[in-house]
Amino acid sequence: MISASDPRVIAFLAVVGIVSILLVRRGFVKIPDPRTGETWRDPLRMVIGLGGGIFGVAFAGLLYLALTTVRDPHAQFDMVADPIRYASLAVGVVFLVFVLFAVLPALLNSLERFGFVPYVAARHVRASKSGFLTIISVLSISGVSVSSCALCSVTSIMGGFGYDLKQKILRNYAHVVVDSGASGGFTDWEEVVDRIRLGLGPNGAATPVVAGDAMSSSATNTAGVLVRGIDPTTIGQVIDLEQNIDVGKFGYLTDTEALGKIPDGEVICRLPDGSVRKKQNFEIYDGDPTIDPSVKLARKEPPARPGIILGRELAKSLHVCVGDEMSLLSPMGDLGPMGVMPRTRKFRVAGIFYSGMYEYDASHAYITLEEAQKFFGLEEKITQVDVRVSDPEKVTTFRPAIEAAVAATMQEWKSVPDAPELRVRDWQEMNKNLFSALLLERIATFMILSIAIAVASFCIICTLLLMVTEKGRQIAVMKALGASEGHIRKIFMIEGIIIGAIGTLFGVGIALAACTGLKWFGARLPPEVYYIDRLPVNVDIADYSIVALASLAICTLATIYPAHAAARLHPVEGLRHE
């Protein structure tokens, strides 16, 4: 979170203050009347300057308050901090609109200096006296700006959800998985792990894992679960399990003695209403003190059980807390007189983790590697090696080193009968369908919302056709003075491009400011509904550039017919009634 003492924040607030002063000063400066040459104060310019100054000062003050007001991290909606944050965001967007309106005349003045065609085009979209935009131009610009702002905002929010999901996958799953692709696992895995570590060096880490399906049960419920046996000393180098522990301790997974003696007052689970439940130890009488006063208090120690770490939703489903007993049942058991008997083993909940992915938290459980090998009857085997690389976005550059290490091991296994074939898969390959669906969803959304820009472009067509009718006499005069059809066509095409560019500038600028503010402050969401506590927003300049280019392209296409109609207007028709 950015603080108010950050030098960047101080510089930004200073810039806002300076811009506010300049807006007020500019609003009250007298301008020459193009008709009479007299100087006067334009009321519209005064309103924009005064309004920009007021909103600028208000924005700076609210932003400072938003950064200095401490928000309650446990509250769904802080009645003090959240209104200030949202008010500063809204006022900041309005301030940006005033700034853009204030700089428009200067931009159009600069455009007029590029020659005859740009000069005439710029004068057509401006009011003759104030120098600001005409009403009909403002309506067309509003349509383009609203549609482009909506497209940018939706793209940022959808991109935020996709980016958030990808980061959670990279934190909770291995970047590369080496497995046999068949049940039963493989031995001599230490050699595979050592060679992968040697091949990656400081750019990666590897850990052995035993994974298998089982049925979990407690005193009140049952649920299917994916059990993963891990090496507690190296798993933290590959996934963020230890950092994700919400209740309990990661050390309880191996320290069964401490797990059986959880101290009083330690949080052992979170209740559905957001409150916590704490451990309460009760002393048990070893006898009846009402009969024999010499009976002493004695604490009844629970039986030692191996530890297990559950996902938050799985723990809710089983109604268990840290320290409670539960059972795992494997369908692949031992052969008995009545056939295959399922293998059952009791565990004690050592911790509850929260990854931010509902399906993951509802289906994953972690035990030690040795306990998993015993439970699944794999003896010294493992099912896979999980690998993390330093840069998951460039996982393909690290994959050859991993494949070389696996190939060298398999070369030595050639003489071993029934040696397994190991395969290497990276996170992009394993989640290809998911990310392809997200990309297709973004493309479809972009195409659908682009229709809104296309609809807004019809306003540009109507605006230019009305201008052709209104400026018919001027077109005739220019043609009579020697302007060619090409000049007229360029004039009206540039008019449409100016309208589209201003609308795109407003829309993309407002969306950029609003989404950046949402990314900084965060829009709170009910986690019990969305499983995330804030709206994810990803501001990608590349996406905004694509939207801007698409908007300009559509608006440019919309100018073709009106420009052609203006170019074909005959001078005699325009001057007939003069």
CB neighbour list of residue 339: distance below 8 Å, 6 or more residues apart: none
Q: Where are the alpha helices (DSSP H) in 113-221?
A: 116-124, 135-172, 189-200
**The pair of three-digit structure tokens given for residue 130, joined into one six-digit string:** 């104030």
Give me the mean pLDDT over the 549-565 stretch: 89
Q: Are 45 and 27 in contact (CB under 8 A)?
A: yes
Give me the mean pLDDT over the 463-478 stretch: 81
Task: Give this prediction's pTM.
Answer: 0.82
**The pair of three-digit structure tokens given for residue 215, joined into one six-digit string:** 């049925």
Look-up of token digits 């550039």: 545
* Residue 338 CB coordination number (10 Å): 6
For 388-446, what is each residue's pLDDT tens digit?
999 999 999 999 999 999 998 888 877 677 778 889 999 999 999 988 988 898 888 88
Q: Are 449 and 147 in contact (CB under 8 A)?
A: yes
How does residue 575 score in pLDDT terms, banded at 50, 70 and 90?
low
Judge whether residue 288 has pLDDT over 70.
no
For 82-123, what is each residue's pLDDT tens digit?
788 888 889 999 999 989 888 888 888 888 888 888 888 888
CB neighbour list of residue 537: distance below 8 Å, 6 or more residues apart: 156, 157, 160, 515, 518, 519, 523
* Alpha carbon distance 349, 219 (integer Å): 13
How does residue 238 score in pLDDT terms, banded at 50, 70 and 90?
very high
Look-up of token digits 């440019």: 556
Instruction: Report the mean per-residue pLDDT for the chain.
Output: 84
453 vs 510, more confident:
510
How does residue 333 score in pLDDT terms, banded at 50, 70 and 90?
low
**The pair of three-digit structure tokens given for residue 289, joined into one six-digit string:** 């003190």
For 143-155, what is each residue's pLDDT tens digit?
899 999 999 999 9
* Cα dihedral sign, 405-408-412-415: positive
* Alpha carbon distance 110, 113 (integer Å): 6
* Residue 421 CB coordination number (10 Å): 11
For 157-181, what is each residue's pLDDT tens digit?
998 999 999 999 999 999 999 998 7
Strands 325-336 and 297-298, by their bridges, are unpaired
For 519-540, what is each residue's pLDDT tens digit?
888 788 877 777 888 888 999 8
Q: Are 348 and 308 in contact (CB under 8 A)?
A: yes
Judge whether residue 48 has pLDDT over 70.
yes
